Each structure stands twice: as structure tokens, then as C-alpha cells.
Amino acid sequence: MRHILLLIITFFIIQNISLAQSPCDVYTSTEVVWYGVDFSHSRFVGQFNNVNEITSYYFKNWNGLFINESEKYNIRKYYRKKSVINELSTVEKLNNQVLADSLIVYNSYSFKQGEVDQIISAYQTPQTSGIGLVFIVESFDKTKDMGFVYVTFFDIATKKVLFTEKVTSPAGGIGFRNFWAKSIFMTLEKSNIKKWHKKYCKK
């Protein structure tokens, strides 16, 4: 009986390993689940006078750009997918928990090693399989007028990061919303799919 139980356990372990996604699957998969822009661990560097409005309004508004202005903020186009599933509720719940008092810092801010992995591992997603994509904002830095965002692909089933790339993009434009929306858009524009393919999917 014990022998049979060990065989069953071994079978499921091998099956899970074989089903696990790899970095190459990011490119071979025709579909991706878009989780949005995650501000749950980000910091805004410099003097900001509308902190409560950032957490209560702008987080959701910036994420809404991918729905309301999907022709411009086009995940399918920039990441070369036939199909994109929008699942913003996971990140929205996390963004809603951000405390305005902890959002602002006055010195440069960077994630600790392994922080992106920790963020993804805590996701509770309605999907149980597939490739997930999320923009994890490290900081919006007013002293530099730059946004620092980790473009992150992960295996939804295991919450394992397949690869993540830090993209630095300029902000700009009229009005607070548009000023930082430019940095989000430029993150799309600066996502170097060909270069990342060579880096993470070596034959």
C-alpha cells in the first residue's frame, strides 16, 4: 500500500513539473492574462500634494487606460499575442490596500533582491493556469520625472516568475494623470521583445 502511495505521489510531482511553464512559453503561447499595473509595493519619490487622491483615484484610473484606451495601451500588439484576457481585480484589491502615508519617500527607492518574486507569489488569481503579465511599479520619481516598472511574466499555476525586466521610462504631459500615464505607455513602447527572447529563450 505504501509503495502504491509513493508511486501516486511521484506521478503527480512529475506531472506538475512537466506542466510547469518555462520562459520560452511566454513566446510560444498565443494568449496572456493581463493583471494590470501593480502599485502595492511602489513608492512615489519627491513632493506630491495629492497623496490620498493617488491611492483612491489614480491607481484605478491608470489601470483603466488599458480598457478605455486599448488601441493605444495595446497589450496584444506590444507583446504579440492573439488573445489577451483582462483580469484587473487581483491587482486592484492589492492597490486598494496601499496606505497613502507610506507611499511618499524623498530618497531614491529600489526593490530588494527577490521582491518581485515575493509579490507574485502572494497573488490570489481566479485563473489556475496560463501565462500572466503584470507591470509592477517600483517607483514614480518626480525628482527625475521617470517611472521604474518591472515588466513581469509569470506562470499562473505555480506563481513562479518566468522573467522580469526593469524598464525605465520618462513621464510627461499635461495634468497629473497624463504625466505619469506617459511613463506607463513608454513601458509598453520600450519592452524589447526580440532582445528578451534571445536572453530568456536560448535554443
pLDDT band at 22 (very low <50, low <70, confident <90, very high): confident
Give the global pTM: 0.89
Residue 175, number of CB atoms within 10 A of its CB: 8
Better pLDDT: 4 or 148: 148
Q: What is the pLDDT of residue 178?
A: 98
Better pLDDT: 193 or 145: 145
CB 63 within 8 A of CB 55: no
Q: What is the pLDDT of residue 6?
A: 44
Mean model confidence pLDDT for the chain: 90
Q: What is the pLDDT of residue 8?
A: 40
- State the average pLDDT over residues 3-15: 41
Q: What is the pLDDT of residue 96?
A: 97
- d(CA 167, CA 146) in angstroms, rounded, equals 10
- d(CA 74, CA 91) in angstroms, rounded, equals 18
pLDDT over threshold 50, residue 17: no
Closest CA to 159 of 182, 194, 134, 192: 134
Which sequence spans correspond to the domains of the chain? Answer: 21-200
- d(CA 88, CA 6) in angstroms, rounded, equals 40
